[in-house]
Amino acid sequence: MGKGGLTRRVTAIIILVAVISAAFSGLTMLYISKKQFSSYLDRSSQVLAQKYAPNIENYYQEYGTLEGLQSFIMDTGVAGNNFRHGRRFQAVQMGRRIIIADKESIIVADSADLLTGQKMELLRKNLLAYPLFSGGNQIGTLYVSSPLQAGIVSLENDFLANINKNISISIIIVAFLAFLLGLFLSRSITRPMADLSSAIHEVARGNLGTRLEPRGEREFVSLATDFNTMARQLMEHEESRVRLISNIAHELRTPLSIIRGQLEAIQSGKLEINEEISSTLVDETIRLTRLVSDLETIGLAESGVLKLNKTVIKINDLVERLLPLRLTMEEDNIKFQVQIEDGLQEVKADFNRLTQVLINLLTNAMHHTPSGGEVILTIKRQENRIAFSIADNGSGISDKDLPNIFERFYRIDESRNRKSGGTGLGLAIARSYVEAHKGQIWVESSVGQGTTFYFTLPCAAELLC
C-alpha cells in the first residue's frame, strides 16, 4: 500500500470515528432528553387525572349516572356548589385532552367534543387511563391524552421541537468541529509516517545521507532517532565497503606491479633471472598469498564459520611463544614485562589463534613505542573471564582514530607503507579471533601517554578461574 493510500485511510478512519462519536453523543442526549421529558409529562398527566377524578365521581354520586357529563364539561358557567365537595369541574389545560368512558367503554364526555357516544377500544393509544369508582364499584375510566400526541398544538410540543432543533444544530456543529479535530490529529499522526516512508524510499534509492527530524509524539521521535541511527550505520558500512575495496586494490596493486614489471623485463630480455630477482618474485608472491589468506580468515571469523581448535593451554607455554618478540624489543631498547596473576596457570582457547592475537597486539605496541619505552603484558582473572592487557607508553592514539582502529587496512599514519606498517590487517585479525572465542576486545589511549589494548576470553567450566 502506497504512502498516499495509508495517509488517506488513517485520515478517513480518524475523521469517521470523531464524527460518529459526536453524532452518537448528540443523538444519545436527544433520546435521553425526550425520554425524561415524556416521563415528566406522564407524571403530570397522572396528577391531573387524580385531580379531576374526584369531581367526576362526585358527579356520579350526585346524579347516579355519567350521562350529561359532556354538557357539564362544556358549560363552564355551572357553579361549583352543585358538587358535594364544593369544587367545580374547570376547563382542561391547553394541550390536555380528557375523555371519560363509562364501564361499557362508551365515551360520555370529551373535552374536545368530538367523540361522545363512540366506543373507546380503538382510541386508547397514547392515553393515560385512570379508573373511576363509586361505592367500591368501577363506574368508568378517565383518559388523559399526552400533549406530545401528534397533531396537538401545545407548549410542550413547542418546547420539545425547540429541543430537537437546538440539539440537531449542536450535533452538526460538534460533528464539524470533530471533523476539523480529526483532520488535525490525522495529519499530526500521518505526517511523520509519510516523512518516514519518503526517507525509507530515499535510502532504498541509495541516498544514505537522508535523515529525519525527530518531532511529534515520543514514539515518532524514537522511530526517527532509530531510523537516523540505521541510516548512519548504513552509510558507515558503505563507506567501509568502498574503503575496503580501495584498500584491497591498493594492497594488491603494488606486488602485482612488481611481479608484472619484472616478468615483462625478463620476457623482453632486459633482465636475466638471478637469485635476487627470483627472491623478489617469491617475496611478493608470499605477500599476496598472506594478504588473501588474512582476508579469508577475517571473512570466516565475521561470518561465524571460523573453526577453532580449543584446548587447555598452559600460560607459560603461551608466553614462551612470544620470545622472538621479546628479543626484538630488547634490540630496540624497549623493556618488555609479563605479569601473570598468582595461581592462574591455564586458559582454554585455540593456541595458534590466541598466540596470533598476542603477537599482533604486541607488534603494534612495539611499533608505536620509542626506544627506552616499555610494553607490559598482563594476564589475570576478571570475574568469570580471563583478561589480557597490552600496555605501552608510546605515542598514543587520537580520539578520531580510536573508533576505526580495528577496521581492515586502517592505519593511523597514512604515510607508513606496506613494508614499514604492514597491511593494516593485524588489529582486524586480532578482533576477529577474540570475537570468534566469544570474547571482547577494546582499546584505551591518550595521546602522548600511551595505549592499552584489552581483551577477555570466557573461562572454561573445567578450569578454576
Domain final position from 302, 335, 361: 302
In a domain, 284, yes or no: yes
Q: Which DSSP letter does residue 119 get? A: B
The residue with greater pLDDT, 457 or 281, is 457
What would the pLDDT profile of 210-246 be if each residue is shown by its tens digit?
A: 888 887 677 778 888 888 888 888 887 787 777 767 7
Can you tell me the distance from the alpha carbon of 325 to that of 364, in angstroms, rounded to the nearest whole number?
11
Can you tell me the distance from the alpha carbon of 388 to that of 390, in angstroms, rounded to the nearest whole number?
7
User: What pLDDT is stored for residue 198 in this prediction?
Assistant: 82
Domain CATH for 334: 3.30.565.10
Domain CATH for 297: 1.10.287.130
Per the document, the length of the chain is 465
Amino acid at 258: I
Indicate whether 287 and 321 sit together in one domain: no
Report CA 428 to chain centroid distance, whole Å: 37
> Three-state SS across 94-139?
CCCCEEEEECCCEEEEECCCCCCCCECHHHCCCEEEEEEEECCEEE
Report CA 268 to chain centroid distance, whole Å: 70
pLDDT reading at 421 higher than 90: no
Can you tell me the distance from the alpha carbon of 161 to that of 155, in angstroms, rounded to the nearest whole number?
10
Indicate whether 355 and 235 sit together in one domain: no
Say which range, 11-25, 88-102, 153-167, 380-394, has the weakest mean pLDDT. Answer: 88-102
How is residue 299 written as a grid cell? 571473512
Chain mean pLDDT for the chain:
79
pLDDT reading at 377 higher than 90: yes
Sequence-ordered list of residues with C-beta below 8 angstroms from that of 398, at least 6 positions apart, any chain: 412, 447
In a domain, 205, yes or no: no
Can you tell me the distance from the alpha carbon of 456 to that of 384, in angstroms, rounded to the nearest whole number?
10
Indicate whether 346 and 292 sit together in one domain: no
In a domain, 435, yes or no: yes
Indicate whether 344 and 243 sit together in one domain: no
pTM as predicted: 0.51
pLDDT reading at 450 higher than 70: yes
User: What pLDDT is stored for residue 339 in this prediction?
Assistant: 93
Which domain does 298 fall in, by range?
A: 218-302
In a domain, 174, yes or no: no
Tell me whether strands 374-382 and 335-340 are parallel, antiparallel or unpaired: parallel
In a domain, 45, yes or no: yes
Indicate whether 9 and 133 sit together in one domain: yes
How is residue 317 written as a grid cell? 607455554
Domain final position from 275, 302, 329: 302
Indicate whether 331 and 276 sit together in one domain: no
The residue with greater pLDDT, 443 or 219, is 443
Indicate whether 67 and 91 sit together in one domain: yes
In a domain, 163, yes or no: no
pLDDT reading at 91 higher than 50: no
Domain final position from 131, 155, 179: 155
pLDDT reading at 392 higher than 90: yes
Q: Are 107 and 99 in contact (CB under 8 A)?
A: yes
Indicate whether 427 and 383 sit together in one domain: yes
Indicate whether 121 and 23 sit together in one domain: yes
Query: How many independent structural domains does the chain possess?
Result: 3
User: What pLDDT is stored for residue 375 in this prediction?
Assistant: 94
Indicate whether 108 and 81 sit together in one domain: yes
User: What pLDDT is stored for residue 86 in this prediction?
Assistant: 35
Indicate whether 272 and 314 sit together in one domain: no
Indicate whether 54 and 15 sit together in one domain: yes
pLDDT band at 434 (very low <50, low <70, confident <90, very high): very high
Burial (CB < 10 A; 0-12, 13-18, 19+), residue 301, is buried
User: What pLDDT is stored for residue 53 in this prediction?
Assistant: 84
Burial (CB < 10 A; 0-12, 13-18, 19+), residue 294, is buried
Burial (CB < 10 A; 0-12, 13-18, 19+), residue 419, is exposed
User: What pLDDT is stored for residue 452 in this prediction?
Assistant: 94
pLDDT band at 127 (very low <50, low <70, confident <90, very high): confident
What would the pLDDT profile of 399-411 be if each residue is shown by its tens digit?
A: 888 888 888 777 7
User: What pLDDT is stored for residue 89 in this prediction?
Assistant: 41
What would the pLDDT profile of 191-219 be if each residue is shown by its tens digit?
A: 777 777 788 888 888 888 888 888 767 77
pLDDT band at 374 (very low <50, low <70, confident <90, very high): very high
Cα dist from 419 to 155, 251, 261, 284, 423, whole Å: 109, 11, 19, 11, 8
In a domain, 251, yes or no: yes
Among 180-184, 292-296, 435-439, the range with the most confident prediction by mean pLDDT is: 435-439
Domain CATH for 43: 3.30.450
In a domain, 193, yes or no: no
